[in-house]
Amino acid sequence: MLNSGIDQVYLAMGPTDLRKSIDGLSILVQESFNLNPFSKSLFVFCNKKRDKVKILEWDLNGFWLHYKRLEKGAFKWPVGSDSKTLLVGDREFRWLLDGLSIHQKNAHPVVKERIII
C-alpha cells in the first residue's frame, strides 16, 4: 500500500474525468459512492483510455493525490459491475498497478495456516 495504515482499497467502476482534483474526487467518494473520504482507505480512479489513474488518500491532516500515467499500454481495469465501486485487496491492487488483471488464476493461494511442521 502507499500508506501502511490503509484498511481498504476501492476502485471506482467506469471511467472518471481525471481533470478532477482532490476536492472533486473527495466529493465523488462522499456523495456518489456514499463512502468516507477521510477513512483509512485508498480511492482509485481510472480514465476512459485506462492509461491514467489517480489515487485519493487521507493522511492525518491532509489528502494525498497520487497520479500515474502509462507511457505505453493500459491498466486492466475491471468492467461489468453494477456497483459504483469495487473493494479489492492489497494483492489485487498491486496486480492492477503492475498491468495485470485483478483475477490471477495462476497466482499462489494465500496460506492461512500458521503452524511450522
61 phi-psi bin (left φ>0, alpha ψ -120 to 50, beta other) = alpha
User: 8-12 and 41-46 as β-strands: parallel, antiparallel, unpaired?
Assistant: parallel
pLDDT of residue 95: 92
Whether the pLDDT of residue 1 is over 90: the answer is no
pLDDT category of residue 6 using cuts at 50, 70 and 90: confident
Which pLDDT value is given to residue 80?
76
- Label residue 15 by pLDDT band (50, 70, 90): very high
The C-alpha cell that represents 94 in the structure block: 498491486
Total count of residues recorded for the chain = 117
Mean pLDDT value of segment 108-112? 78
Say which residue, 21 or 115, is predicted with more confidence: 21
| Torsion on CA atoms 111, 104, 85, 97, rounded to nearest 10 | 100
